[in-house]
Structure 1
Amino acid sequence: MVKYPPDWKQGELKDFAIINPKSDLPFSFTYVDLEAVKGISLINPRKETQRTAPSRARRVALKGDIFFQTVRPYQRNNYLFNLNGDYVFSTGYAQIRAKINPNFLFILLRQERFVSA
């Protein structure tokens, strides 16, 4: 059994983050689909506009947002967004906007006990 420091709180993810916040799409943006994240690295995102983007382009990224792949989560292709510019992720990711330190939450979300839950 894991022992946590006495000042730590346990709770549900929704207590520590906003899940899939709603945002309006920018006119043009860099689109990140499920194949554009390998491990924790962003590879080959593509430029899109509102008119040309696939219907799954809905998750508007802000610095500190965590994108957790909901399709095959055991692959751990998740991304902690910290870039400049307009990026939009596929709805194949859960967008998690941390109310606590996003780096800490990102590490927790990549642990086996979360992924396999």
Structure 2
Amino acid sequence: MFTLFKKLAAALAIAGVITTSLAVAMPAPADAAVASCGSGRCTIYLNKSETRAFANGYVPAPPTATPWQLKGAYYALAYGHRWIAQQYASWGWCSGFRLSVYPWESQGYFGYACNWN
């Protein structure tokens, strides 16, 4: 019974990855953001209007079944990033996200001086 559950969970995980990769691979216009991805690294640069939209954006609620500890961490991260985006937007800066599979590289949310709206 347990091996059947493990096989079912693995099949669902693989199906989820395939579905997500197909959704991500679909072409869509990216008018304002620029992404640079490759070799296990990805950096997304937002322009000034997207930084302002992120700063004034709506933070969606997590699922109701989420434990209160995770809800607290989620809201702290979401509103913390939103507050930082407000600071960047008030300075006239742009913001971006950097992710890497290498743990020694810098990762996270950052701001940079830009001249594109």
Query: When the two structures are superposed, what TM-score results if normalisation uses the length of structure 1?
Result: 0.25
Q: Which has the larger radius of gyration?
A: 2
Query: When the two structures are superposed, what TM-score results if normalisation uses the length of structure 2?
Result: 0.25
The structure with the largest helix share of the pair is 2
The structure with the largest strand share of the pair is 1
Which structure exhibits the higher relative contact order, with contacts defined as CA atoms closer than 8 Å and separated by 6 or more residues?
1
